[in-house]
Homo-oligomer: A and B are copies of this chain.
Amino acid sequence: MKQLLYGVAYYDEYMPYERLQEDIRMMKTAGINVVRIAESTWSTEEPEEGIFDFSHVIKVLDAMQEAGIYVIIGTPTYAIPAWMAKKYPEVMVMDSTGHRRPYGARQIMDITNKEYRFFAERIIRKLMEVVQGYSHVIGFQLDNESKHFGTCSENVHEMFVSYMKKRFQGDLKCLNEEFGLDYWSNRINSWEEFPSVVGTINGSLGCEFAKFQRSLVTEYLQCQRKIVDEYRRPDQFVTHNFDFEWRGHSFGVQPDVNHYETAKCLTIAGCDIYHPTQDYLTGKEIGFCGDLTRTLKKNNYFVMETQAQGFPNWTPYNGQVRLQAFSHLASGADSVMYWHWHSIHNACETYWKGVLSHNMKENVVYQEVARVGKELARLSPKLIHLKKINQVAIMVSNDSLTAIEWFPFAPGQQPNKKYNDIVRWIYDALFELNVECDIINVEEENLIQYKMIVVPTLYSANQNTLLRLKEYVNAGGCLVSTFKTAFTNENVKVWSDDQPYILTECFGMTYNQFTLPVNVILEDEMLDVDKEERYVELFMELLQPQGASVIATYGHYNWKQYAAITENKFGQGTAIYIGCMTSKAYLKALLSNVLETKNIKEEKQLDIYPISVRKGINEDGHEITYYLNYSHEEQEIRVDNGIELLCDRNVSQDEVIKIAPWDLAIVERK
C-alpha cells in the first residue's frame, strides 16, 4: 500500500437497523480508509449446509467501492455455524478434559477435523469467487487469531504418533532414552501402545505434543493460503491476525502458535494488540507486540485490531486514542485498525466497545479518531514504511515457554512467574531505557547484526542454538542471559553435564545448585540501586565463577559464597549471566551499565521515560523520531533539529519542547 491504512472491522450483519450509508458517511468524515469484513460471519454466509448467501458481503463491497474505502476480506472460518455442530458433532474440539466443547463460542472446532476442513475450504472458495472482481479489495486475512484450541482427540493422537515415529525414525529405544520414559514405568515398547499424552507426567512428552499442536496451526493456515492464492491478484496481500499470550490484555509470546514459522505463509505480518489504558497505559504492550510482529518478516506489519473504547475499564482518557495510534506507527506498523466500528448490542462482547457507543452517534472517542484520521491523511507520506535498525535483540522461544509451564520456576509458590514474565521483565526494562529492540526467534542465524542479545530463560534449546550463541560472543557480541538458560536440550532433557551447557566457558561460570530466595538481597560495588530494590525473587542459582568476574553476590548468610551475576570476556565479546530474578530497577541499572560500558547506547539523554522515544527511517531516508508522553503530566524534552510534523514547525537542536499529557511529538530530521 502506498498510504497508511486507518480502518475498522465492520459487521453489517450485526447492525440493529440499516446503517450502512450513515456509517460510511461517518467513516469518511473520520478519515477511515479501510474496513475489514466477513471474518466470523459464516452463519450468515452459509445459513444452511450448502446454501450460500453473500448479500451482506456484496452490499458492503459495493458501498465501500463507491465510497472509496478499501476492504480487507477475512476468511470466516474461526466461528462455525450451528448446523455444522449439530450434524457433525465431531467437528467440535476435544481437549485434554476428554470432552468435546459445546456449541456456542468461536474457536471451538477441531482444526484437524476432516469435515471441518471440507466446509472451511468450500466457504473460502465461495467467498473468494464473490470478492475477486473488486479492485478495492486490497488483501486477505486468513482465519482469525488461529490456535490449536488444545485439540487432542483420537485423530490428533494418531497424527502425533506418526509424527513421533518420523521424528525418531521409528527408534523407540532412542525415544525412551531421550524422554526418560523409564521413569515411573512410562516406557513405550511399541508404537501401537503409545498412550495418549493427555495424562502424561513426562514433560518431554508434554512439550513435544505442544510443539506438534503448534505445527497444526501452521499447516492449517498454509492450507488457507494455498486456497486464497488460487484467486488473489498479485497486488493483494495475505495477512493474519496473530494474537499474544493473553493476561486480560496482550502480554507476551503466544504459547499456542509459533508465530515465526506460521508467518512464512503470509505476505505481510499482522496482529491484534490490546492493552490497558487510563493510568495503566505505558506503551509497553504496543511496543512489545509491535516489535515482535515486525521481526516476524523483518518488515512493516499491520495492526489488524486494536481497541477503540474496549472494555469498560479501558475507556480512554482524552488523548490516549491518538497517542496509541501513533505509537503503533512508531514501531513500524503500516496500519491501525480498530476493533470495531460500532458497539454490539447482544452477546458476550457487548461491553467490548467500538469507535461508536451503543447509540451509534458521534462521541468523544469518534471525535478523537477523526482527529487522528486527518493527521494520518496528511502525514502518511512521511510516516509510512518506517524502517528500523536496532542494535539490541531479545531471543524468544516457544519451546522454552512450554517447558517452563511444565517445570515452573517456583512450583506452588505465589505469585509464580512464567516464561513471559521473564521476557517482559527484560523487555520492559529496555523499553524504559528507551532502547529499542527486535524480538528474534531462537532459530535466528544472523546474530552478529546485533550489538547485544538478551536471552531470557532459554530453558530448552538444541546444541546448534547454544553453539551459535557461543560463537556470537566469540565474534564480539554482547550476550546477556538470565537464569535457567541452557538447562535442557530440545527434548527438555536436562543436560547431564555442567550448567549452563556448552556455555560454561563462554560465561566463565558454572553451577549445580539453585534455590528459591527468602530474604536474599544483591550485593555489589558497581550499581547505584536503593536497598529496597535489591531483593531477589522467584529463583536463584548458586553460581561458581570459573574465570568470570563477579558483578553481584547474594546477601544471605548461607549463600554469600556464591555469585549472583557474572561477567566474562570470551573471544572478542562479553557474556553476562544473571543468575536470579531481580527487581526491574536493579535490572535497569545493570543493563544501563552494560549498554554504556559496551557503547551500545550512545545517547544518555534517552533516559526520559515516561517519554518513550522511538526512531526509524522513512521512505525519504529521513530519521523520524517519536516522543510519546506516557503520563498524565506535561513533560519537557530536548529534541534534535528538524521539523515537528504534527505542528509542522521547525525545531532547533536541543530545543526544549513541552509535550502535554498523553500527547506526542514527531520530529523529522533530514
On whether the beta carbons of B347 and A201 are closer than 8 Å, the reply is: yes
Task: Tell me which residues across on chain B come within 8 A of A48, comparing CB atoms.
Answer: 189-190
Given A104-B200, A248-B412, A346 and B312 contact (CB-CB distance below 8 Å)? no
Alpha-carbon distance between A351 and B433 when the two chains are bound, in angstroms: 36
Instruction: Give which listed residue, B187, B197, B346, B497, contacts A202 with CB less than 8 A.
Output: B346
> Are B350 and A494 in contact, with the CB atoms below 8 A?
yes
Q: Tell me which residues across on chain B come within 8 A of A499, comparing CB atoms.
A: 358-359
Partner of A346, one of B76, B105, B197, B494: B494
Complex interface: chain B residues within 8 A of A546 (CB): none
Q: Which residue of B has the minimal Cβ distance to A13?
A: B182
Q: How does the 8 Å CB contact mask read for A99-143 relative to B, with 1 for contact and 0 for none?
A: 101111110100000000000000000000000000000000000
Q: In the bound complex, do residue B202 and residue A83 qualify as a contact, i.e. CB atoms below 8 Å apart?
A: no
Q: Which residue of B lies closest to A557 (CB)?
A: B632
B632, A14: Cβ atoms closer than 8 Å: no
Across-interface contacts of A311 in B (CB, < 8 A): 411
Q: How far does the Cβ of A567 sit from chain B's closest Cβ, in whole Å?
A: 23
Contact B512 A363 (CB under 8 A): yes
Q: Which one, B81, B105, B197, B318, contacts A187 given CB within 8 A? A: B81
- A153 within 8 Å of B by Cβ? no
Which single residue of chain B is at the shortest CB-CB distance from A56? B182
Q: Which residue of B lies closest to A194 (CB)?
A: B82
Instruction: Report which of B309, B491, B496 forms a contact with A358, defined as CB distance below 8 A.
Output: B496
Within the complex, what minimum Cβ distance (angstroms) separates A490 from chain B? 13
A414 proximal to B (CB < 8 A)? no
Asked if A495 is at the interface of the complex by the 8 Å CB criterion, the answer is yes
Interface residue? A86 (CB, 8 A): yes
Instruction: Select from chain B the residue with minimum beta-carbon distance to A81.
Output: B185
Q: Which one, B315, B343, B347, contacts A515 given CB within 8 A?
A: B315
In the complex, which residues 191-238 of chain A have their Cβ closer than 8 Å to any Cβ of chain B? 193-204
Contact: A496 with B359, CB < 8 Å?
A: yes
Contact, CB under 8 Å: A195 / B104: yes
**A52-82 interface bits toward B, Cβ cutoff 8 Å, 1 = contact, 0 = none:** 0000000000000000000000001001111
Q: Given A496-B359, A514-B315, A44–B182 Cβ distance below 8 Å?
A: yes
| B344–A180 touching, CB < 8 Å | yes
How far, in whole Å, are A43 and B193 apart by their CA atoms in the complex? Answer: 12
Complex contact A180–B318 (CB within 8 A): no
Q: Is the interface of A mostly helix, strand, loop or mixed?
A: loop
Q: Which of B13, B350, B494 contacts A203 (CB 8 A)?
A: B350
What are the residues of chain B within 8 A of A425 when measuring CB–CB? none
In the bound complex, CA of A527 to CA of B364 (Å): 31
A493 x B16 contact (CB < 8 A)? yes
- A420: shortest Cβ distance to chain B, in Å? 19
Contact of A346 with B512 at beta-carbon distance under 8 Å, contacts A101-B199, A185-B76 already known: no
Interface hub of A13, A17, A87, A194 (most chain B Cβ within 10 A): A13
Chain B contacts of A183 at CB under 8 A? 11, 13-14, 344, 346-347, 349
Least Cβ distance of A203 to chain B in Å?
Answer: 6
Cβ-defined contact, A187 with B47, below 8 A: yes
Q: Which residue on chain B has the smallest CB distance to residue A346?
A: B180
Docked pose: A99 CA to B44 CA in angstroms? 33
Contact A496 B360 (CB under 8 A): yes
Q: Are A182 and B43 in contact (CB under 8 A)?
A: yes
- Name A512's contact: one of B43, B87, B357, B494 (CB within 8 Å): B357
Bound: A102/B201 CA distance, A: 11
A345 touches B312 (CB 8 A): no
A26 part of interface (Cβ distance < 8 Å): no
Instruction: For A497, list chain B residues within 8 Å (CB).
Output: 359
Decide: B345 and A83 in contact? CB cutoff 8 A. no
**In the complex, what residues of B have CB within 8 A of residue A492's CB?**
346
State in angstroms the CA–CA spacing of A248 and B412 once bound together.
8
Provide the bound-state CA to CA distance between A200 and B103, in Å.
7
| Cα of A346 to Cα of B53 in the assembled complex, Å | 54
In the assembled complex, the Cα of A492 lies from the Cα of B351 at a distance in Å of: 13
Q: Are A312 and B347 in contact (CB under 8 A)?
A: no
Kindly state whether residue A174 has any CB partner on chain B within 8 Å: no
Max chain B Cβ within 10 angstroms of own Cβ: one of A184, A311, A351: A184
Give Cα A270–Cα B345 distance, bound, in whole angstroms. Answer: 39
Query: CA separation between A491 and B345, bound complex, in Å?
Result: 11
**With known contacts A105-B199, A363-B513, A407-B350, A345–B496 Cβ distance under 8 A:** yes
Smallest Cβ-Cβ distance to A47: which chain B residue? B189
- Give the chain B neighbours of A106 by CB distance below 8 A: 184-185
A313 interface residue per 8 A CB criterion: yes
* Chain B residue with Cβ nearest A314: B515
Q: A40 at interface (Cβ–Cβ under 8 A)?
A: yes
Contact with A104, one of B13, B202, B344, B348 (Cβ below 8 angstroms): B202
Check: A264 CB closer than 8 A to any chain B CB: no
Contacts from A to B (Cβ < 8 Å): 11, 13-14, 16-17, 40-44, 47-48, 76, 79-83, 85-87, 98-99, 101-106, 108, 177, 179-190, 193-204, 248, 278-279, 309, 311-315, 317-318, 343-351, 357-361, 363-365, 407, 410-413, 491-499, 512-516, 518-519, 539, 542, 557-558, 632
- A312-B539, A351-B411 given. 10 additional CB < 8 A pairs? A13-B183, A44-B185, A44-B187, A86-B193, A104-B200, A180-B347, A312-B515, A350-B494, A359-B496, A363-B513
Offer 6 A-B interface pairs, CB within 8 angstroms, sorted by A.
Answer: A16-B177, A82-B194, A83-B193, A279-B519, A312-B539, A350-B407
